[in-house]
Each structure stands twice: as structure tokens, then as C-alpha cells.
Structure 1
Amino acid sequence: MKSGIHPSYRPVVFRDKVGGLAFLTCSTVTSDRTVEWEDGNTYPVIDVEISSASHPFYTGQSRVLDTAGRVEQFRRRYGDRH
């Protein structure tokens, strides 16, 4: 790899604003804000809108589609052709 052309790869904290989940990982993303982590060190923090702690698929709060209503709408539009 060429030196000087790649962004620095360092520890960063990603924090879910809604779910309250925060995890420390390595990334090339940058941030002006910092947070003190559990180990006593200070790391840049990136706030995200959604993660596995708040996503409906992972939390089990996903919406159930009205499939019966969709079937009736299809039958009204195209009829009951066999």
C-alpha cells in the first residue's frame, strides 16, 4: 500500500441515539465530538439514527402488513379470473 494516501484507521465509538446502544470499533470516519469510554480513554463518537438496538426487524416490533386487504384490492382491480 502507498503511504500517505489512506485515511487513518483508529478506534471510534458508534452510539445509537434511540436505542442507547454504544460500541467501540475501528473505523476511518472522523468526528469532532468525543466520549469517555468504559476503559477510561477518550474516543471520537459517531451518533447514528438506527442500529440493531432500535431497528424494528431486530427488536420484533415490525409492522404486519394487511395482506387480506391487499388480496381484496387485487380482486377488485383485476376481478376473480381463473
Structure 2
Amino acid sequence: MKPDIHPKYQQTVIKCACGNVIEVGSTKSDISVEICSKCHPFFTGKQKLIDTAGRIERFRKKYEKFQK
């Protein structure tokens, strides 16, 4: 490897808005994020379901004349 061209790799802390702290290695120091796996709805199971049935019915009603 060539000397003095690579960024310095160091241990750093990632801080989430929910208060979760993760220690990782990175070229950046003290990273802050808004959402992490502890507070993301997909991982917590508190995901909101979207009403897709209403959308499908509106689509079918709108384009039913092309089906015939």
C-alpha cells in the first residue's frame, strides 16, 4: 500500500436519537443518526399497514371498461 493516502481508521461511536449507542470502526468520528435498528418500525414490529385494498379497488373501477 502507498503511504499517506488512506484515511485513518479508528474506533468510533454511533449515537441514535433514541439513545442507542453502537461502537464500530470507521474513518469518521462521532456519528449521529436519526433512526437505528432498535427504534425502526420494521425491526420493532410496530409497522403501519397501508390500506392497499382501497387503492386496488379504485384502480379496478377506473380501468374496468378496458377489461371488457
Same fold? TM cut 0.5: yes
Paired with 1:53 and 1:15, the residues of 2 have a C-alpha distance of 12
Shift, 1:74, TM fit: 0.9
Whether 1:5 and 2:10 are equivalent positions in the alignment is: no
1:60 alignment partner AA: G
Q: Unpaired runs of 5+ in structure 2?
A: none
Q: Which residue of 1 is the match for residue 43 of structure 2?
A: 58
Question: TM-score, normalised to structure 1's length?
Answer: 0.72
Deviation readout 1:57-80 (Å, 9 max, x if unpaired):
111121211121011111121117
Q: Name the structure where helix makes up a greater proportion of residues.
A: 2
1:6 alignment partner AA: H
* Percent identity between the two aligned chains: 43
Question: TM-score, normalised to structure 2's length?
Answer: 0.84
1:1-80 pair list within 5 angstroms: 1-18=1-18, 20-30=19-29, 45-79=30-64
May I ask how many residue pairs the two structures share in their alignment? 67
Give the RMSD, CA atoms, in angstroms.
1.6
Q: Name the structure where strand makes up a greater proportion of residues.
A: 1
1:3 alignment partner AA: P
| Dislocated runs of 4+, deviation >3 Å | none
Q: Unpaired runs of 5+ in structure 1?
A: 31-44
